[in-house]
A and B are shown apart, each in its own frame.
Chain A
Amino acid sequence: MSKVILQKFRYSRLVPFLFITLLLVVLPVFMPKNVQGIMTKFLIYAVFAISYDLIFGYTGLVSLGHAAFFGAGGYAVAVLSLHYGTNSFWLGGILAIIVSTLLAVVLGFISLRVTGTYFLLLTFALAQLLYSVAWNIPWFNSEGMQGIARINFPSLGIPGEIWSDATLYYFVLVIAVICYYILRRITKSPFGHALVGIREGEARMTALGYNTWLYKYMGYIIAAPFAGMAGALFAYYSRFISPAQFGLGTSFYPMVMAIIGGTGTLFGPVIGAGVVVFVEYFASLITPERWPLILGIIFVLSIMYLRSGLGVSIYKLWQKVSNSNGNSKS
């Protein structure tokens, strides 16, 4: 029995698992408060990036409007907090999921009427429409400002729960792991393989009898609640949500993360999110006003030199190391 378990946790899988556990679960305890905050931000963007990876990396749809779902999730939480005075996660999280999914049902139906450059422009236009809605309609704004402020920590309805930056971190960690697990299952499923098939050759998939439009539509809808959840968590994390959450800049974040880390891998975008968030943190320590310049240079460098993705390189390196270890054992 123990041999079976040992075989399951082969050497090559156990070590990275322990390493990641150490990094994400144990290490933050000993970290100062602001680093915990940065780790939280990293996990939130990681969820956002893997959600985008499903449609960008796996399905091959280049959307410039993924911020629509991120913003929708954030505003779901923020509006509940502003107008109904509740910060219950069960209400906020579920509303974020419902709103972003319904939004994807509508926006996806409109955007997927076209392909290529037009799809890019249409997704951008729709997100921009939401931006102007959030900007213009008073109901979506706190008194006298653009955006909604003073969003509290989420409440789980457990008596005696105490929230701090550390609690929020572990809360986000649990949700991020769940999201990653679900998306991993989806991408490993026949449905996920069909999406990859569409990316590689849509005509061939059509010839095989797949309704490729429906698959793309489904992929687009399935990605949305994860982005919505990331947006909701972001609202709890930053305690403030503004129309910029719908903006073009927000849509570009998961894209650059996916490309830096390696598209179509799920693991890659997580690495990419880590790179972007931590570089931002260090840049803001040294030269905060130059951060956009550095971010721009990251965009350019990742396109010119890192196109296969950093995550993929790390994965390949690890395979090399573990293979040579396995060889020396046998």
Chain B
Amino acid sequence: MDFFLSNLLNGISYGMILFLIAAGMSIVLGIMGITNLAHGSLYMIGAYIGWTIFVQLGMNFWLAVFAGAVVSGIIGLLIERIFLKHLYKQVNEQVLLTYGLVYITTNLVTWIWGGRYRLQFTAPELDMHTVNLGSFSFPLTRIVITIFGILVALILWYLQDKTRIGAIVRAGMDDKEMVQGLGINLELVSMAVFFVASFVAGLAGVIGAQLLSTYPGLGENVLLLTLAVIIVGGIGSIQGALVGGLLIGLIDNFGKALFPQYAMFTIYFAMIIVLLIKPSGLLGRSK
């Protein structure tokens, strides 16, 4: 029972981090039709900025979270302004260009911060604290991560489904010309979407540093996980990213606990099974 419960809670908190990363990429992919493979790198940049501010400069953890998120958001916005806005509806070009950015950011991060693994870090008030659940104790940070994930999910879902901005964004996905014809500045909207997506990725980077340690190859590894989440959950919705993130998080945790010799294998296997049953993902809009 303890085994089940601890893996369940670990899986959920891990899944929440995956959700935070994948939500932005899924929205950008589904709504703006942009495949941004550098999204994992934005996560990594957030993590490194957070590390510098919190560990190196010894400042407040929550300030580090905010700074990581803002820097990632700005870099994401720059990527959209400089490159991706010229490549609307050109999938091959987007894919290749953003993968080039993965190489560039990975190498620059190695250049600036060195190739060493950085230790996992988190807020001092959360560190070492545990919550007792019956016979076993559970680290407080993981619970905070989970609550954080739920909070962000609620905010994003509210923005997407219940507000006028969300309606404009969703309408732009279906009929760009018509939305522009209504006098809405879609360019501004897509900039905002891109910024929020990158912002959340950077935020996840600092929060998630407790679970995934920080190292130069992080961007690409996170990208692989994110793609798995998007494939399983379906493109273009917060709910899809949440379901996908939780599923991948749980599968990964239980997979590692039950069949330790087949680490990554369980994720990709799950991914293939979902794709065979429903190619557009569990909550994806089928064409």
A and B part of one assembly: yes
Q: Is the CB of A295 within 8 A of B268?
A: no
Task: Select one of B35, B87, B99, B275 contacting A252, CB under 8 A.
Answer: B99
Q: Is the CB of B83 within 8 A of A117?
A: no
The interface residues of chain A lying within 8 Å CB-to-CB of B93 are 259, 303, 307
5 A-B residue pairings within 8 Å (CB atoms): A125-B272, A132-B262, A132-B268, A292-B106, A297-B104
8 closest residue pairs by CB, A with B: A299-B100, A296-B103, A296-B104, A293-B107, A129-B268, A132-B264, A303-B97, A296-B100
| Complex: A117 Cα to B94 Cα, angstroms | 11
Task: Select one of B97, B110, B228, B271 contacting A300, CB under 8 A.
Answer: B97
| Complex: A302 Cα to B110 Cα, angstroms | 24
Q: Is the CB of A303 within 8 A of B96?
A: yes
The interface residues of chain B lying within 8 Å CB-to-CB of A129 are 265, 268-269, 271-272
Q: How many residues of A contact B (CB 8 A)?
A: 41
The interface residues of chain B lying within 8 Å CB-to-CB of A117 are 29, 35, 91, 235
Q: Is the CB of B268 within 8 A of A124?
A: no
Task: Select one of B95, B224, B262, B280 contacting A62, CB under 8 A.
Answer: B95
Chain A at the B interface: SS class: helix
Q: Is the CB of B96 within 8 A of A299?
A: yes
The interface residues of chain A lying within 8 Å CB-to-CB of B126 are none
Q: How many residues of B contact A (CB 8 A)?
A: 45
The interface residues of chain A lying within 8 Å CB-to-CB of B224 are 128, 248
Given contacts A117-B235, A129-B268, A129-B269, contact A293 B92 (CB under 8 A): no
Give min CB distance, A112 to chain B, whole Å: 10
Give min CB distance, A259 to chain B, whole Å: 6
| Complex: A297 Cα to B97 Cα, angstroms | 9
- B 252-279 binary contact with A (CB < 8 Å = 1; else 0): 0000000001111101110110011001
| Residue ranges of A at the interface with B (Cβ–Cβ < 8 Å) | 56, 62, 64, 110, 113-114, 116-118, 120-122, 124-126, 128-129, 131-133, 135-136, 248, 252, 255-256, 259, 289-290, 292-293, 295-300, 302-304, 307
Give min CB distance, A186 to chain B, whole Å: 22
The interface residues of chain A lying within 8 Å CB-to-CB of B101 are 296, 299-300
Residue of B nearest to A113 (CB): B279
The interface residues of chain A lying within 8 Å CB-to-CB of B279 are 113-114, 118, 122
The interface residues of chain B lying within 8 Å CB-to-CB of A296 are 100-105, 107
Residue of A nearest to B91 (CB): A62
Q: Is the CB of B92 within 8 A of A259?
A: yes
Q: Is the CB of B96 within 8 A of A292?
A: no
The interface residues of chain A lying within 8 Å CB-to-CB of B108 are 293
| Complex: A303 Cα to B96 Cα, angstroms | 7
| Complex: A136 Cα to B272 Cα, angstroms | 17
The interface residues of chain B lying within 8 Å CB-to-CB of A298 are 100
Residue of B nearest to A301 (CB): B100
Given contacts A62-B91, A129-B272, A290-B107, contact A135 B96 (CB under 8 A): no
Residue of B29, B91, B230, B279 most packed against chain A (CB within 10 A): B279
Give min CB distance, A295 to chain B, whole Å: 5
| Complex: A296 Cα to B267 Cα, angstroms | 28
B47 within 8 A of A: no
| Complex: A293 Cα to B91 Cα, angstroms | 23
Task: Select one of A124, A132, A290, A302 contacting B227, CB under 8 A.
Answer: A124
Residue of B nearest to A114 (CB): B279
Q: Is the CB of A256 within 8 A of B264?
A: no
Q: Is the CB of A300 within 8 A of B83?
A: yes
The interface residues of chain B lying within 8 Å CB-to-CB of A302 are 96
Residue of B nearest to A291 (CB): B107
The interface residues of chain B lying within 8 Å CB-to-CB of A120 are 35, 91, 95
| Complex: A132 Cα to B228 Cα, angstroms | 13
Known: A121-B231, A129-B271. 17 other contacts (CB 8 A): A64-B95, A110-B272, A117-B35, A117-B235, A118-B279, A120-B91, A125-B275, A129-B269, A132-B262, A135-B265, A136-B263, A248-B99, A292-B107, A298-B100, A299-B101, A300-B101, A304-B97
CB within 8 Å of A: which of B62-120? 83, 86-87, 91-93, 95-97, 99-108, 110-111
Give min CB distance, B87 to chain A, whole Å: 7
Task: Select one of B96, B110, B227, B275 contacting A256, CB under 8 A.
Answer: B96
Residue of B nearest to A135 (CB): B264
| Complex: A297 Cα to B83 Cα, angstroms | 13
Give min CB distance, A218 to chain B, whole Å: 21
The interface residues of chain A lying within 8 Å CB-to-CB of B227 are 121, 124-125
Give min CB distance, A60 to chain B, whole Å: 9
CB within 8 Å of A: which of B128-164? none
Give min CB distance, A220 to chain B, whole Å: 16
Q: Is the CB of B220 within 8 A of A248?
A: yes
